[in-house]
Structure 1
Protein backbone atom coordinates (compact mmCIF):
# COMPACT_ATOMS: atom_id res chain seq x y z
CA UNK A 1 0.00 0.00 0.00
CA UNK A 2 1.04 3.62 -0.44
CA UNK A 3 2.29 5.47 2.58
CA UNK A 4 -0.38 7.15 4.69
CA UNK A 5 0.19 10.89 4.62
CA UNK A 6 -1.15 12.15 7.93
CA UNK A 7 1.32 14.96 8.52
CA UNK A 8 -0.98 17.57 6.98
CA UNK A 9 -3.79 16.46 9.29
CA UNK A 10 -1.96 16.11 12.60
CA UNK A 11 0.97 17.73 14.40
CA UNK A 12 4.28 15.90 14.79
CA UNK A 13 3.54 15.44 18.49
CA UNK A 14 0.14 13.90 17.72
CA UNK A 15 1.61 11.59 15.09
CA UNK A 16 4.34 10.46 17.44
CA UNK A 17 1.85 9.75 20.21
CA UNK A 18 -0.38 7.70 17.89
CA UNK A 19 2.58 5.75 16.55
CA UNK A 20 3.93 5.14 20.06
CA UNK A 21 0.55 3.84 21.26
CA UNK A 22 0.33 1.49 18.29
CA UNK A 23 3.91 0.33 18.79
CA UNK A 24 3.30 -0.41 22.47
CA UNK A 25 -0.08 -2.14 22.15
CA UNK A 26 0.08 -3.93 18.81
CA UNK A 27 1.15 -7.54 18.38
CA UNK A 28 1.72 -9.24 15.04
CA UNK A 29 -0.57 -12.15 15.88
CA UNK A 30 -3.68 -10.15 16.74
CA UNK A 31 -6.66 -10.90 14.53
CA UNK A 32 -7.38 -8.38 11.79
CA UNK A 33 -10.52 -7.20 13.60
CA UNK A 34 -8.53 -6.67 16.80
CA UNK A 35 -5.90 -4.62 14.99
CA UNK A 36 -8.58 -2.39 13.47
CA UNK A 37 -10.11 -1.89 16.92
CA UNK A 38 -6.70 -0.81 18.20
CA UNK A 39 -6.22 1.65 15.33
CA UNK A 40 -9.65 3.13 15.91
CA UNK A 41 -8.96 3.53 19.63
CA UNK A 42 -5.79 5.62 19.17
CA UNK A 43 -6.49 7.69 16.05
CA UNK A 44 -8.77 10.77 16.39
CA UNK A 45 -12.21 9.79 15.15
CA UNK A 46 -12.40 12.38 12.37
CA UNK A 47 -9.00 11.36 10.97
CA UNK A 48 -9.87 7.70 11.31
CA UNK A 49 -13.12 8.10 9.38
CA UNK A 50 -11.69 10.27 6.61
CA UNK A 51 -8.21 8.84 6.11
CA UNK A 52 -8.02 5.31 7.48
CA UNK A 53 -11.43 3.64 7.57
CA UNK A 54 -11.76 3.75 3.74
CA UNK A 55 -8.76 1.39 3.58
CA UNK A 56 -10.40 -1.23 5.79
CA UNK A 57 -11.96 -3.26 2.97
CA UNK A 58 -8.72 -3.53 1.05
CA UNK A 59 -5.97 -3.89 3.65
CA UNK A 60 -5.37 -5.85 6.83
CA UNK A 61 -4.91 -3.65 9.88
CA UNK A 62 -1.35 -4.95 10.30
CA UNK A 63 -0.30 -2.98 7.20
CA UNK A 64 -1.81 0.23 8.53
CA UNK A 65 -0.10 -0.13 11.91
CA UNK A 66 3.23 -0.91 10.28
CA UNK A 67 2.95 2.09 7.96
CA UNK A 68 2.24 4.48 10.83
CA UNK A 69 4.88 3.07 13.19
CA UNK A 70 7.61 2.87 10.55
CA UNK A 71 7.02 6.44 9.41
CA UNK A 72 6.22 8.26 12.64
CA UNK A 73 7.96 6.41 15.46
CA UNK A 74 11.74 6.09 15.49
CA UNK A 75 11.94 3.13 17.83
CA UNK A 76 14.06 0.01 18.05
CA UNK A 77 11.87 -2.13 15.79
CA UNK A 78 12.50 0.15 12.83
CA UNK A 79 16.27 0.08 13.32
CA UNK A 80 16.25 -3.68 13.87
CA UNK A 81 14.31 -4.26 10.64
CA UNK A 82 16.76 -2.28 8.52
CA UNK A 83 19.74 -3.88 10.25
CA UNK A 84 18.43 -7.41 9.74
CA UNK A 85 17.71 -6.76 6.05
CA UNK A 86 21.42 -6.22 5.45
CA UNK A 87 22.16 -9.84 6.29
CA UNK A 88 19.35 -11.70 4.50
CA UNK A 89 20.40 -14.83 2.58
CA UNK A 90 24.11 -14.65 3.33
CA UNK A 91 25.73 -18.05 2.78
CA UNK A 92 26.67 -20.02 5.90
CA UNK A 93 25.35 -17.31 8.19
CA UNK A 94 22.54 -17.20 10.75
CA UNK A 95 21.21 -14.09 12.47
CA UNK A 96 19.03 -13.93 15.57
CA UNK A 97 16.99 -11.56 17.71
CA UNK A 98 16.94 -11.10 21.48
CA UNK A 99 19.70 -13.31 22.87
CA UNK A 100 20.13 -13.57 26.64
CA UNK A 101 23.65 -13.14 28.01
CA UNK A 102 23.93 -12.90 31.79
CA UNK A 103 21.35 -10.38 32.92
CA UNK A 104 21.36 -8.58 29.55
CA UNK A 105 19.35 -9.20 26.41
CA UNK A 106 21.15 -8.56 23.13
CA UNK A 107 19.09 -6.96 20.35
CA UNK A 108 20.62 -8.73 17.36
CA UNK A 109 23.44 -11.17 16.61
CA UNK A 110 25.08 -12.93 13.69
CA UNK A 111 26.96 -16.20 13.57
CA UNK A 112 29.11 -17.41 10.67
CA UNK A 113 32.78 -18.23 11.07
CA UNK A 114 32.76 -15.51 13.74
CA UNK A 115 30.19 -14.17 16.20
CA UNK A 116 28.85 -10.61 16.13
CA UNK A 117 26.73 -8.75 18.69
CA UNK A 118 24.67 -5.62 17.95
CA UNK A 119 23.13 -3.44 20.67
CA UNK A 120 20.73 -0.75 19.43
CA UNK A 121 20.27 2.62 21.13
CA UNK A 122 17.71 4.86 19.44
CA UNK A 123 17.08 8.51 20.18
CA UNK A 124 14.34 7.31 22.55
CA UNK A 125 16.67 5.09 24.59
CA UNK A 126 18.69 5.78 27.69
CA UNK A 127 22.36 4.81 27.80
CA UNK A 128 22.14 3.89 31.48
CA UNK A 129 22.55 0.13 30.99
CA UNK A 130 24.97 0.20 28.07
CA UNK A 131 28.23 -0.33 29.97
CA UNK A 132 26.82 -3.39 31.79
CA UNK A 133 25.38 -4.75 28.55
CA UNK A 134 28.69 -4.47 26.72
CA UNK A 135 30.51 -6.24 29.55
CA UNK A 136 28.03 -9.13 29.28
CA UNK A 137 28.23 -9.37 25.48
CA UNK A 138 32.02 -9.20 25.60
CA UNK A 139 32.03 -12.39 27.64
CA UNK A 140 30.51 -14.29 24.73
CA UNK A 141 30.90 -12.64 21.30
CA UNK A 142 34.01 -12.03 19.22
CA UNK A 143 32.91 -8.70 17.77
CA UNK A 144 30.67 -6.15 19.49
CA UNK A 145 28.83 -3.25 17.85
CA UNK A 146 26.65 -0.46 19.18
CA UNK A 147 24.14 0.95 16.68
CA UNK A 148 23.15 4.46 17.76
CA UNK A 149 21.19 7.52 16.78
CA UNK A 150 23.68 10.28 15.89
CA UNK A 151 22.69 12.28 18.97
CA UNK A 152 24.14 9.51 21.14
CA UNK A 153 27.41 9.07 19.25
CA UNK A 154 29.74 11.22 21.37
CA UNK A 155 28.43 9.82 24.65
CA UNK A 156 28.63 6.26 23.39
CA UNK A 157 32.16 6.80 22.08
CA UNK A 158 33.23 7.77 25.59
CA UNK A 159 31.46 4.77 27.13
CA UNK A 160 32.47 1.82 24.98
CA UNK A 161 35.62 -0.27 25.44
CA UNK A 162 38.31 -0.12 22.77
CA UNK A 163 37.23 -3.30 20.99
CA UNK A 164 33.62 -2.17 20.42
CA UNK A 165 32.59 -0.74 17.07
CA UNK A 166 30.02 2.04 16.69
CA UNK A 167 27.64 2.72 13.81
CA UNK A 168 25.06 5.47 13.37
CA UNK A 169 21.95 5.39 11.20
CA UNK A 170 20.17 8.03 9.13
CA UNK A 171 16.42 7.74 9.64
CA UNK A 172 15.77 10.70 7.32
CA UNK A 173 16.69 8.72 4.21
CA UNK A 174 14.38 6.08 2.74
CA UNK A 175 17.12 3.44 2.54
CA UNK A 176 18.02 4.00 6.23
CA UNK A 177 21.82 3.86 5.71
CA UNK A 178 24.19 2.79 8.46
CA UNK A 179 27.54 4.51 8.83
CA UNK A 180 30.28 2.63 10.69
CA UNK A 181 32.15 5.34 12.62
CA UNK A 182 34.37 3.35 14.96
CA UNK A 183 36.01 0.14 13.82
CA UNK A 184 35.39 -3.04 15.78
CA UNK A 185 38.36 -5.03 17.07
CA UNK A 186 38.56 -8.66 18.10
CA UNK A 187 37.22 -8.87 21.64
CA UNK A 188 39.90 -10.10 24.10
CA UNK A 189 37.48 -10.77 26.98
CA UNK A 190 35.63 -13.95 26.00
CA UNK A 191 34.86 -16.23 28.95
CA UNK A 192 34.39 -19.93 28.06
CA UNK A 193 32.24 -20.54 31.15
CA UNK A 194 29.79 -17.79 30.17
CA UNK A 195 29.61 -19.21 26.66
CA UNK A 196 28.71 -22.61 28.09
CA UNK A 197 26.12 -21.00 30.36
CA UNK A 198 24.28 -19.60 27.34
CA UNK A 199 23.81 -23.10 25.93
CA UNK A 200 20.84 -25.31 26.69
CA UNK A 201 21.15 -28.55 28.67
CA UNK A 202 20.57 -30.47 25.46
CA UNK A 203 23.44 -28.60 23.78
CA UNK A 204 25.73 -29.18 26.75
CA UNK A 205 24.92 -32.91 26.68
CA UNK A 206 25.59 -32.99 22.94
CA UNK A 207 29.08 -31.57 23.45
CA UNK A 208 29.80 -34.02 26.26
CA UNK A 209 28.76 -36.87 23.97
CA UNK A 210 30.98 -35.61 21.12
CA UNK A 211 34.00 -35.77 23.40
CA UNK A 212 33.00 -39.05 25.01
CA UNK A 213 32.69 -37.53 28.47
CA UNK A 214 30.44 -39.52 30.80
CA UNK A 215 28.34 -37.08 32.80
CA UNK A 216 24.94 -38.73 33.26
CA UNK A 217 24.86 -38.27 37.03
CA UNK A 218 26.38 -34.77 37.06
CA UNK A 219 24.57 -31.51 37.72
CA UNK A 220 24.54 -28.79 35.07
CA UNK A 221 27.29 -26.90 36.91
CA UNK A 222 29.42 -30.04 37.16
CA UNK A 223 28.97 -30.71 33.46
CA UNK A 224 30.19 -27.19 32.66
CA UNK A 225 33.21 -27.68 34.91
CA UNK A 226 33.97 -30.99 33.20
CA UNK A 227 33.94 -29.30 29.79
CA UNK A 228 36.18 -26.48 31.01
CA UNK A 229 38.68 -29.08 32.23
CA UNK A 230 38.55 -31.13 29.04
CA UNK A 231 38.27 -28.61 26.18
CA UNK A 232 40.41 -25.60 25.28
CA UNK A 233 38.88 -22.09 25.24
CA UNK A 234 39.20 -21.77 21.42
CA UNK A 235 37.37 -25.07 20.99
CA UNK A 236 34.60 -23.99 23.38
CA UNK A 237 34.27 -20.75 21.41
CA UNK A 238 33.93 -22.76 18.19
CA UNK A 239 31.34 -25.10 19.73
CA UNK A 240 29.40 -22.15 21.14
CA UNK A 241 29.12 -20.62 17.66
CA UNK A 242 28.15 -23.90 16.03
CA UNK A 243 25.43 -24.71 18.55
CA UNK A 244 23.92 -21.22 18.56
CA UNK A 245 23.93 -21.27 14.78
CA UNK A 246 22.15 -24.63 14.74
CA UNK A 247 19.64 -23.51 17.39
CA UNK A 248 18.46 -20.50 15.39
CA UNK A 249 19.01 -21.71 11.84
CA UNK A 250 15.41 -22.74 11.14
CA UNK A 251 14.04 -19.44 12.47
CA UNK A 252 16.44 -17.29 10.46
CA UNK A 253 15.85 -19.24 7.24
CA UNK A 254 12.14 -18.69 7.78
CA UNK A 255 12.77 -14.92 7.87
CA UNK A 256 14.96 -15.11 4.75
CA UNK A 257 12.30 -17.07 2.87
CA UNK A 258 9.47 -14.69 3.81
CA UNK A 259 11.17 -11.31 4.15
CA UNK A 260 9.07 -9.75 1.36
CA UNK A 261 5.83 -10.97 2.96
CA UNK A 262 6.49 -9.95 6.57
CA UNK A 263 5.59 -6.45 7.72
CA UNK A 264 8.67 -4.61 9.11
CA UNK A 265 7.82 -4.32 12.81
CA UNK A 266 6.57 -7.92 12.82
CA UNK A 267 9.94 -9.39 11.86
CA UNK A 268 10.92 -10.51 15.35
CA UNK A 269 7.52 -12.10 16.01
CA UNK A 270 7.83 -14.24 12.90
CA UNK A 271 11.38 -15.16 13.87
CA UNK A 272 10.10 -16.54 17.17
CA UNK A 273 7.12 -18.41 15.74
CA UNK A 274 8.06 -19.40 12.13
CA UNK A 275 4.38 -19.21 11.22
CA UNK A 276 3.40 -18.62 7.59
CA UNK A 277 2.64 -14.87 7.16
CA UNK A 278 -0.37 -15.76 4.99
CA UNK A 279 -2.04 -17.25 8.06
CA UNK A 280 -1.74 -13.93 9.90
CA UNK A 281 -2.23 -11.28 7.22
CA UNK A 282 -5.65 -12.59 6.36
CA UNK A 283 -8.38 -10.04 5.71
CA UNK A 284 -11.14 -12.17 7.24
CA UNK A 285 -9.07 -13.38 10.20
CA UNK A 286 -11.89 -12.20 12.48
CA UNK A 287 -14.02 -15.16 11.38
CA UNK A 288 -11.37 -17.88 11.33
Structure 2
Protein backbone atom coordinates (compact mmCIF):
# COMPACT_ATOMS: atom_id res chain seq x y z
CA UNK A 1 0.00 0.00 0.00
CA UNK A 2 1.43 3.39 -1.04
CA UNK A 3 1.53 6.69 0.86
CA UNK A 4 -0.63 8.35 -1.80
CA UNK A 5 -3.38 5.72 -1.38
CA UNK A 6 -3.40 6.12 2.40
CA UNK A 7 -3.24 9.91 2.16
CA UNK A 8 -6.19 9.97 -0.24
CA UNK A 9 -8.32 7.83 2.09
CA UNK A 10 -7.31 9.86 5.14
CA UNK A 11 -7.97 13.19 3.44
CA UNK A 12 -11.38 12.01 2.24
CA UNK A 13 -12.32 10.80 5.72
CA UNK A 14 -11.21 14.07 7.34
CA UNK A 15 -12.94 16.18 4.68
CA UNK A 16 -16.19 14.32 5.31
CA UNK A 17 -15.85 14.68 9.06
CA UNK A 18 -15.10 18.43 8.97
CA UNK A 19 -17.09 19.43 5.87
CA UNK A 20 -19.70 21.27 7.94
CA UNK A 21 -17.08 23.19 9.93
CA UNK A 22 -15.86 26.14 7.83
CA UNK A 23 -13.31 27.13 10.49
CA UNK A 24 -11.43 23.87 10.00
CA UNK A 25 -8.38 23.77 7.74
CA UNK A 26 -6.89 20.54 6.45
CA UNK A 27 -3.27 21.00 5.39
CA UNK A 28 -0.67 18.70 3.90
CA UNK A 29 3.00 18.86 4.88
CA UNK A 30 2.68 21.31 7.77
CA UNK A 31 6.21 22.22 8.86
CA UNK A 32 7.07 21.97 12.55
CA UNK A 33 10.01 23.20 14.59
CA UNK A 34 11.29 25.58 11.90
CA UNK A 35 11.07 22.90 9.23
CA UNK A 36 12.85 20.08 11.09
CA UNK A 37 9.90 17.84 10.25
CA UNK A 38 6.58 17.96 8.43
CA UNK A 39 3.22 16.58 9.43
CA UNK A 40 1.79 14.54 6.56
CA UNK A 41 -1.77 15.77 7.16
CA UNK A 42 -2.80 18.38 9.74
CA UNK A 43 -6.28 19.41 10.88
CA UNK A 44 -6.46 22.90 12.36
CA UNK A 45 -9.58 23.96 14.26
CA UNK A 46 -10.04 24.12 18.03
CA UNK A 47 -7.00 21.81 18.14
CA UNK A 48 -4.05 21.11 15.90
CA UNK A 49 -4.14 17.43 15.06
CA UNK A 50 -1.45 15.75 13.01
CA UNK A 51 -1.37 12.46 11.14
CA UNK A 52 1.88 10.69 10.30
CA UNK A 53 1.56 8.16 7.49
CA UNK A 54 3.85 5.14 7.32
CA UNK A 55 3.11 3.11 4.21
CA UNK A 56 4.58 -0.23 3.17
CA UNK A 57 7.30 1.63 1.22
CA UNK A 58 8.38 3.76 4.21
CA UNK A 59 11.01 3.02 6.81
CA UNK A 60 10.65 3.74 10.51
CA UNK A 61 14.10 5.29 10.95
CA UNK A 62 12.75 8.83 11.44
CA UNK A 63 9.64 7.96 13.44
CA UNK A 64 11.13 8.49 16.91
CA UNK A 65 12.40 11.98 15.98
CA UNK A 66 9.09 12.78 14.29
CA UNK A 67 7.21 11.68 17.42
CA UNK A 68 9.43 13.89 19.59
CA UNK A 69 8.93 16.96 17.39
CA UNK A 70 5.18 16.36 16.90
CA UNK A 71 4.89 16.09 20.68
CA UNK A 72 6.34 19.56 21.12
CA UNK A 73 3.64 21.18 19.01
CA UNK A 74 0.49 19.19 18.29
CA UNK A 75 -2.56 18.98 20.53
CA UNK A 76 -3.32 15.52 19.17
CA UNK A 77 -1.36 13.14 16.95
CA UNK A 78 -2.07 9.88 15.18
CA UNK A 79 -0.05 7.33 13.31
CA UNK A 80 -1.69 5.91 10.18
CA UNK A 81 0.06 2.75 9.05
CA UNK A 82 -0.32 -0.65 7.48
CA UNK A 83 -0.21 -4.09 9.04
CA UNK A 84 3.47 -4.29 8.12
CA UNK A 85 4.43 -1.66 10.69
CA UNK A 86 1.49 -1.59 13.07
CA UNK A 87 3.04 -3.28 16.12
CA UNK A 88 6.59 -1.97 15.73
CA UNK A 89 5.56 1.63 15.04
CA UNK A 90 2.96 1.70 17.81
CA UNK A 91 5.73 0.91 20.31
CA UNK A 92 7.82 3.85 19.04
CA UNK A 93 5.27 6.58 19.64
CA UNK A 94 3.95 8.13 22.87
CA UNK A 95 0.94 6.50 24.51
CA UNK A 96 -1.21 9.62 23.93
CA UNK A 97 -0.99 9.18 20.16
CA UNK A 98 -3.82 7.52 18.28
CA UNK A 99 -3.15 4.66 15.86
CA UNK A 100 -5.08 3.97 12.67
CA UNK A 101 -4.66 0.88 10.52
CA UNK A 102 -4.82 1.26 6.74
CA UNK A 103 -6.39 -1.78 5.10
CA UNK A 104 -6.75 -2.55 1.41
CA UNK A 105 -10.30 -2.15 0.20
CA UNK A 106 -12.08 -3.08 -2.98
CA UNK A 107 -11.90 0.44 -4.43
CA UNK A 108 -9.94 2.44 -1.87
CA UNK A 109 -7.98 2.11 1.33
CA UNK A 110 -10.09 1.63 4.45
CA UNK A 111 -9.04 3.13 7.78
CA UNK A 112 -9.71 1.51 11.13
CA UNK A 113 -9.05 3.16 14.47
CA UNK A 114 -6.90 0.79 16.53
CA UNK A 115 -5.95 3.03 19.45
CA UNK A 116 -7.83 6.12 20.48
CA UNK A 117 -5.54 9.07 21.08
CA UNK A 118 -5.72 11.67 23.82
CA UNK A 119 -4.54 15.22 24.32
CA UNK A 120 -0.82 16.01 24.34
CA UNK A 121 0.24 16.24 28.01
CA UNK A 122 3.29 18.46 27.50
CA UNK A 123 3.41 20.83 24.51
CA UNK A 124 6.32 23.28 24.24
CA UNK A 125 5.41 27.00 23.94
CA UNK A 126 8.49 27.96 21.88
CA UNK A 127 7.85 25.15 19.39
CA UNK A 128 4.19 26.19 19.11
CA UNK A 129 5.23 29.81 18.44
CA UNK A 130 7.42 28.52 15.58
CA UNK A 131 4.28 27.64 13.62
CA UNK A 132 3.86 31.35 12.94
CA UNK A 133 5.64 33.33 10.29
CA UNK A 134 7.74 36.15 11.73
CA UNK A 135 5.29 38.90 10.75
CA UNK A 136 2.38 36.96 12.29
CA UNK A 137 4.26 36.56 15.58
CA UNK A 138 5.24 40.25 15.55
CA UNK A 139 1.60 41.25 15.03
CA UNK A 140 0.59 39.29 18.15
CA UNK A 141 3.37 40.94 20.14
CA UNK A 142 2.38 44.41 18.87
CA UNK A 143 -1.22 43.81 20.00
CA UNK A 144 0.15 43.23 23.50
CA UNK A 145 2.75 45.99 23.47
CA UNK A 146 5.56 43.43 23.77
CA UNK A 147 7.29 44.03 20.45
CA UNK A 148 9.88 46.62 21.52
CA UNK A 149 13.43 45.82 20.50
CA UNK A 150 12.43 43.16 17.99
CA UNK A 151 11.90 45.11 14.76
CA UNK A 152 15.14 43.78 13.23
CA UNK A 153 15.61 40.75 15.44
CA UNK A 154 15.77 37.27 13.91
CA UNK A 155 12.59 35.21 14.06
CA UNK A 156 14.04 33.04 16.86
CA UNK A 157 13.96 36.01 19.24
CA UNK A 158 10.43 36.91 18.14
CA UNK A 159 9.22 33.37 18.81
CA UNK A 160 10.98 33.34 22.18
CA UNK A 161 9.33 36.60 23.24
CA UNK A 162 5.94 35.35 22.10
CA UNK A 163 6.36 32.11 24.07
CA UNK A 164 7.33 34.10 27.16
CA UNK A 165 4.57 36.72 26.79
CA UNK A 166 1.50 34.52 26.30
CA UNK A 167 0.25 31.82 28.64
CA UNK A 168 0.25 28.40 26.98
CA UNK A 169 -3.52 28.22 26.43
CA UNK A 170 -3.65 31.72 24.96
CA UNK A 171 -0.64 31.02 22.73
CA UNK A 172 -2.24 27.83 21.41
CA UNK A 173 -5.54 29.60 20.72
CA UNK A 174 -3.84 32.51 18.94
CA UNK A 175 -1.65 30.24 16.82
CA UNK A 176 -4.68 28.16 15.79
CA UNK A 177 -6.61 31.32 14.94
CA UNK A 178 -3.80 32.68 12.79
CA UNK A 179 -3.28 29.37 11.00
CA UNK A 180 -7.01 28.98 10.29
CA UNK A 181 -7.18 32.44 8.72
CA UNK A 182 -3.85 32.34 6.84
CA UNK A 183 -4.62 32.82 3.16
CA UNK A 184 -1.30 32.38 1.38
CA UNK A 185 -0.28 28.90 2.45
CA UNK A 186 2.14 27.16 0.16
CA UNK A 187 0.30 24.53 -1.83
CA UNK A 188 1.31 20.90 -1.82
CA UNK A 189 3.21 19.87 -4.97
How high is the TM-score relative to the length of structure 1? 0.58
- The yes-or-no answer on 1:101 pairing with 2:28 is no
Counterpart for residue 81 of structure 1: 8
The superposition leaves residues 148-197 of structure 1 with CA deviations (integer Å, 9 ceiling, x where unpaired) of 01121111122111111100011233242210101101111210101112
User: Do the aligned residues in 1 keep the contact of 2:129 with 2:175 (CA within 8 Å)?
Assistant: yes
- The yes-or-no answer on 1:167 pairing with 2:104 is no
Equivalent residue runs for 1:27-42 within 5 Å: none
Q: State the Cα distance separating 1:202 from its structure 2 match.
A: 1.6
- Whole-angstrom CA distance in 1 between matches of 2:161 and 2:122: 21
- Whole-angstrom CA distance in 2 between matches of 1:139 and 1:148: 22
- The yes-or-no answer on 1:156 pairing with 2:83 is no
Counterpart for residue 189 of structure 1: 122
Equivalent residue runs for 1:48-127 within 5 Å: 74-88=1-15, 89-91=19-21, 92-102=23-33, 103-127=36-60
Number of corresponding residues: 181
Counterpart for residue 243 of structure 1: 178
The superposition leaves residues 115-151 of structure 1 with CA deviations (integer Å, 9 ceiling, x where unpaired) of 1000000011111111110110111111010000112
Larger Rg, first or second structure (1 or 2): 1
Q: State the Cα distance separating 1:227 from its structure 2 match.
A: 2.0
- Whole-angstrom CA distance in 2 between matches of 1:146 and 1:246: 26
- Whole-angstrom CA distance in 1 between matches of 2:105 and 2:50: 25
Counterpart for residue 217 of structure 1: 151
How high is the TM-score relative to the length of structure 2? 0.87
SS in 2 for 1:181: strand
- Whole-angstrom CA distance in 2 between matches of 1:138 and 1:90: 28
Q: 1:124 to 1:221 in 2, by over 3 A?
A: closer
- The yes-or-no answer on 1:131 pairing with 2:64 is yes
Counterpart for residue 165 of structure 2: 230
SS in 2 for 1:150: coil
Q: State the Cα distance separating 1:213 from its structure 2 match.
A: 2.4
SS in 2 for 1:86: helix
**Which runs of no fewer than 5 residues in structure 2 stay unpaired?**
none
- Whole-angstrom CA distance in 2 between matches of 1:80 and 1:87: 10
- The yes-or-no answer on 1:204 pairing with 2:131 is no
The superposition leaves residues 92-132 of structure 1 with CA deviations (integer Å, 9 ceiling, x where unpaired) of 21100001113112101001111100000001111111111
Q: 1:152 to 1:163 in 2, by over 3 A?
A: same
